[in-house]
Structure 1
Amino acid sequence: MQRINIGKDFSDHPIGRYREDGPESGQVFRDDYLIPKLEGLESNEILEIILDDGVDGYGSSFLVEAFAGVVKVGYMHADELLKKLTFKYTDEDFSFFEDKIKEYIQEAHYGSAAGGRQ
């Protein structure tokens, strides 16, 4: 199983939606971390996302761009993405963020981002 520990591998303060918002934005996470990991997965392999190790929380703009953005840019359909991801946390308060991520992915429309896949 592959994994991304957001707090250790990316940022302990993920914030913002677009690359212009800074190096800790959802777009940077999606394009530079999440999609490359997804591309490296074997067909039946799962990507584990560790949500709470060194991170206090997430804003909706980060989560939407980071996760639902995979669908919106046309990289993968929502059902495919949800099958490829699993979430891990020891702080049960982070179940809220897992639920929001899944909700945002399910609500995303494939290829709906302006300009499509980047």
Structure 2
Amino acid sequence: MTANSLTVTDNRTGKVYELPIELGAIRATDLRKIKASADDFGLMSYDPAFMNTAACRSAITFIDGDRGILRYRGYPIEALAERSTFLETAYLLLYGELPTGERLDDWVYQ
């Protein structure tokens, strides 16, 4: 048993399953390991309105709609809108950091 895992006991069968936790989440496909019988498809999750479902992991964008948070590469969208141009923000999205003035000029005129 690892510290970054979830242990699930299936009360139907008595079997114990260990599901890895990565970045505070388990993969829904890992639930398919949990079966009542050998020919069972496996357990699935149901999340109406996708209120607790992440569609993907992203190093580019973080969204928390309930708290009104939107970040690009760690920068709050409000700060980018106030202090950065469209091209600076495009550079940030592509390369992971805001450009220096010289880098931006080189990039724009390539």
Global fold match (TM > 0.5): no
Higher normalized contact order (CA 8 Å, seq sep 6+, divided by chain length): 1
Normalized against structure 1, the TM-score is what?
Answer: 0.20
Tell me which structure has the larger Cα radius of gyration: 2
Which structure's residues are more often helix, by fraction? 1
Which structure's residues are more often strand, by fraction? 2
Normalized against structure 2, the TM-score is what?
Answer: 0.21
